[in-house]
A and B are shown apart, each in its own frame.
Chain A
Amino acid sequence: MGTSETNLNRRRALTQLVAGSVGLVSMPLWVESLCARARAEGHTHAAQVAASAATWSPSVLTPHQDEAVIALTELIMPATETPGAKAALVNRFVDHVLSTVDAKTRDEFVRGLTWLDDRCRARVGKDIAGASAAELTTVLTPLAAEGTAPTADAPGVAFFRVIKSMTITGYYTSEIGLRQELGDDGRMMLGTFEGCTHPEHQ
C-alpha cells in the first residue's frame, strides 16, 4: 500500500525504466495488428516458405508496389558487411503477410505506401523505387521521428512504423539475419554449457 506520493515517484521512475510503444504517438489499430501478424508469420516461418519459391511474383502488391517495398526494406535494413533486406527477400515476406490479413488492413497498407510514393514524387521528383538511397532518406527521416512529425504526415508516420517493424521481423527470421548478421552458430549439440564466463559479470 503506497501513499499517493510514492505512487507518483513510482510513476516517474517508471518513465525512465520503460521504452516502447506505451510512448509517444498513438497509432491506428491496424498498425499494431499488422505488425503482430507479421511476427506470428515470422515465427512459424510460413511466410519465408512462400517467399522461397524459385519463381515468385507478388500476390497482393502490384509489381510497382513490390519495387517500392524492396527499396524501402533495403533502406531500413541495408547491406553492410552482411547482406540486407533485399537479399533476405523481405519484400516477399511482406507480400505474404499481407495475403494473410483482411482486405481492410491490406488497403490501409497500400494507402500508406501510395501516400509515401506521392510524398516522394513531391519532394524529390521520383517515386520510391526510382529515388536514390540519399533521396529516400531525406523523405523518410521526418516520418521516422514520430514525436515531431506534423499531424498532416500521420499516414506516412503510421506506414513507416509498419514497414519498419515488418522489415525487422522478416530480416531477423531469415538465415541472413540470424546467422550472418547476428552470428548464431546454429550448434544444437553442446557437450557442456558454459554460461557467462565474463569476470566482470560474476
Chain B
Amino acid sequence: MQVITPPKVYPVIIIGSGASGGMAAWNLTRQGIDVVLLDAGDKFDRAKYWTHVPPWETQARLARGEKPETFFLDTKEQPYLTPNDRPFALTRVWGHGGKTNVWGRVSLRLSELDLKAADRDGWEIPWPIAYKDIAPYYDQVEQLIGVNGGTDDSDVLPGSKYLQPPPAPRCGERLLQKAMGKLNIPVVAGRRANMTRPTRGFPACHYCGNCGNGCDTASFFCSADHLLPFALQTGKLELRSNAVAARILTDENGLATGVQYFDRRTGSEQQVRGKVVVLGASCVDSTRILLNSKSSRHPNGLGNGSDVIGRYLCEQIRLNARGYLPALEGTATRNDRGIGGEHIYMPRFNHRPGRGRDYLRGFGAQFWNTWSNWNGPQEGSDQIPGFGASLKRQIKRRHPAWFEIHPFGEALPYAHNRITVDPKRVDKYGVPLLHIDYRIGENERKMTEHMADTIEEIVKAAGGVLVNYKRGNLDAMGSAIHEHGTCRMGADPKRSALTAFNQMHEVKNVFVVDGSAFPTATEKNPTLTILSLSWRATDYLAQEIKRGNL
C-alpha cells in the first residue's frame, strides 16, 4: 500500500473529539494554536435524532422505513476481545463529540476526599494534584457548559458557585429524600450538565427527558455542539472525519512525529505529521493506540517503559434497583420526564463517623421516579398477581409509583485488570485488537454488600417495595462506561505514565487527556473532571509551545 506523507507539520495533532479531545481543540485554537483533529467518525445528523418522538410515532416512522441516528459503534465493525469467562460490556461512540452526544450528564466535582484517597489508605499511587489545582478549571468548565445543581456543598461535593438552578424533584424523589433525611443519609440535588437557563446562545432544557438519544436543541453539553463549532470559528482547526487513528509515529529519539490512521470509508492508510500529539480517544481506545505504537525505542508501547500502560483499569461497579412506593399508587399520571434520569443524588457517606465499613473508598447513588422513561410500565408490572380488569387497574395505579436507585461504586486499581493488544487478532485495517481482562475483587464485593444494605434501608424507611431485586447482583462489568486508570498520572515515573499535566513522562510531546489519566476511578461520573483536566493540560501545553519547549 502506498503511504502518502503530506508535507505539512501541524503544531498539534489531537486524536478524538469527545469531552477530552474537543476541549483540547477548543482551548488550543482559541489561544491561536493550529490544530488538526482526527475523529474516527463523522458528524451525527441532528435531523435523524428522534428525541421528540413518542413510542407510538416511533412505530409509524419505523414502518415507513425511517431510521434514527445510531451513535454506538458496532462490534461487527470493531470487535474487541475478552477472556471467555469474563465478559466486558464496552460502549464506544465514533463520531464528532463521541460519547458526549448521549452521555448521562452527571457532573460531580472530585473533592480533596477523592484526590487524597490513596494518600490516606495507601492503595496504589496518589493523584499528583490537589483540589486547589483543579478547582479553578471546574469553575470555568461549569460556566462554559452549564451545569445545574443545588447549593448543598459538602466535603464530598464542593464548589456549587456557578451552578444553574436544579430541576425540582419528582414525587417519588421527594419521598425517598424524606426517608434519607430520617436515616441521616445525605441527599442533594443532582448535578448535571443540562442547561436549565439559556447559556452562551443555547436554549434552556425543555424537559423532554430523552437525552439518551441526543439533544435536538443542544441544551445539554455535547462537544460537537459546545466546543467544536467554536474551535472551527477560529480558523485554527482542521477537522478530519472518519480518520481511525492506529499508531503514533516516532523518530529515532523516541519522540512523536505524527499519527498513522485509516480512512474509515475507503480503508486507505494515511499519515499526518505534527510536533505534539494529544490523545483523547477515550480510555480504552487511547490505550490501544499507545500499546500499538511500538518501536525500537518503545518496545512495550509508546511511553510504556514503566509497564503501567494498559494496567490498573478501574471501571466503576453499579447496579439498578427498582421498586414502587405504595404511597404514590393511584396518584395522577404526570409528565415527569424532567432532565431524564435522576434529579436527586446521594453523595458518598461511608467516610462519616460511625458509617465506616471494612472496605476502601466509597459509593454514591442516583435516585429517580421512572415515569422519566417509557419503559417504566413494562418492567415489573407482570409481578402484580391476577389478570383482567383488576390487573389493568393496578398497573395504572402503580404507574406513578415506580422508582429506581442507581448506585455507582469505586473499583480499586489492580495491576491484573488490564487492556492489552493481541498481535494475532487484527481489525480490518490490520491493527491489533483490544483485549480487556477485568474482574472485581473482595473490596468491591464488600462495597456491594454495603450498597445493598443502604438501598434496603432507604426503601424500608420510605415504605417502598423492591421488585425483581436480587441482593448483590451487579450490572455487567463495563456498564458504568466510566473506564479509568490505564495511562495514569503520577509523581513517580516508575509507577505512572503521565505527569500532573497529562504529559507522558517518557515522551514529552505526547499528552493523554481522557479518563485513562485518572489514577483512581472514584465513585463519581468522570466527564466534568476530564473536561477540567484537559483544559488544564492544554493551558500548560500552550505555554510550553509559546516558550518554545514543544
Contacts and interface: CB of A to CB of B under 8 A. Distances in A.
Closest 3 pairs between A and B when the two form their complex, measured CB to CB = A195-B168, A175-B56, A165-B382
Interface string A182-202: 111111111111111010011
Contacts of B156: none
Interface residues of B, number: 65
B470 A77 contact: no
Interface stretch (B22-30, B453-461, B484-492): B453-461
Contact of B379 (A39, A76, A144, A175): A39
Interface string A5-20: 0000010011001111
Given A190-B208, A196-B170, 18 more contacts: A17-B456, A17-B469, A18-B469, A19-B465, A20-B468, A22-B470, A46-B62, A76-B387, A77-B387, A144-B387, A172-B377, A175-B56, A178-B56, A195-B173, A195-B343, A196-B174, A201-B174, A202-B174
Contact of B468 (A21, A145, A198): A21
Contacts of A161: 382
Contact of B396 (A140, A179, A181, A187): A181
Given A17-B456, A78-B392, A195-B338, A45 B62 contact: yes
A164 B56 contact: no
Contacts of B85: none
Interface string B362-404: 0000000000001101111111011111011101100100000
A175 B55 CA distance: 7
B521 to A, nearest CB: 24
Given A80-B389, A193-B168, A185 B335 contact: yes
B387 A20 contact: no
A184 B377 CA distance: 12
A174 B374 CA distance: 11
Contacts of B460: 13, 17
A43 interface: yes
B466 to A, nearest CB: 5
A84 B389 CA distance: 9
A25 to B, nearest CB: 12
A184 B54 contact: yes
Nearest to B171: A196
Contacts of B389: 78, 80
A43 B54 contact: no
Contacts of A169: 378
B456 A189 contact: no
Nearest to A48: B59
Interface in B109-156: none
B347 interface: no
B214 interface: no
13 contacts: A17-B464, A19-B383, A20-B380, A52-B63, A80-B392, A140-B387, A174-B56, A184-B333, A185-B335, A188-B210, A190-B208, A194-B168, A195-B336
B45 interface: no
Contacts of B380: 20
Contacts of B464: 17
A201 B378 contact: no
Contacts, number: 163
Given A185-B335, A201-B174, A202-B174, A20 B167 contact: no
A192 to B, nearest CB: 8
Contacts of A188: 51-52, 54, 206, 208, 210
Contacts of A196: 168-171, 173-174
Given A48-B59, A168-B381, A14 B456 contact: yes
Interface in B51-71: 51-52, 54-56, 58-60, 62-63
A159 to B, nearest CB: 13
B9 interface: no
Contacts of A172: 377-378, 381, 395
Given A17-B459, A168-B382, A201-B175, A187 B335 contact: yes
A13, A49, A181, A195 — which one has the most chain B CB atoms within 10 A of its CB? A195
Contacts of A39: 375, 378-379
B60 A52 contact: yes
A41 B68 CA distance: 16
A76 B388 contact: yes
A178 B171 contact: no
B77 interface: no
Interface in A67-114: 75-78, 80, 84
Interface string B464-497: 1111111100000000000000000000000000
Nearest to A192: B207
Contacts of B171: 196, 198, 201
A169, A179, A191, A196 — which one has the most chain B CB atoms within 10 A of its CB? A196
Contact of A42 (B178, B333, B378): B378
A49 B392 contact: no
Nearest to A42: B378
Contact of A190 (B58, B206, B210): B206
Interface in B74-129: none
A132 interface: no
A187 B52 CA distance: 9
Contact of B382 (A10, A78, A164, A202): A164
B341 to A, nearest CB: 13
Contacts of B393: 80
A41 to B, nearest CB: 11
A1 interface: yes
B442 interface: no
A177 interface: yes
Contact of A49 (B59, B466, B469): B59
Given A45-B55, A193-B207, A201-B171, A144 B382 contact: no
A183 B471 CA distance: 33
A190 B173 CA distance: 20
Contact of A18 (B381, B392, B466): B466
B388 A189 contact: no
Contacts of B54: 178-179, 184, 186, 188
A169 B381 CA distance: 9
B176 to A, nearest CB: 10
A154 B128 CA distance: 62
Contacts of A45: 55, 58-59, 62
Given A49-B59, A169-B378, A195-B343, A21 B383 contact: yes
B500 to A, nearest CB: 38
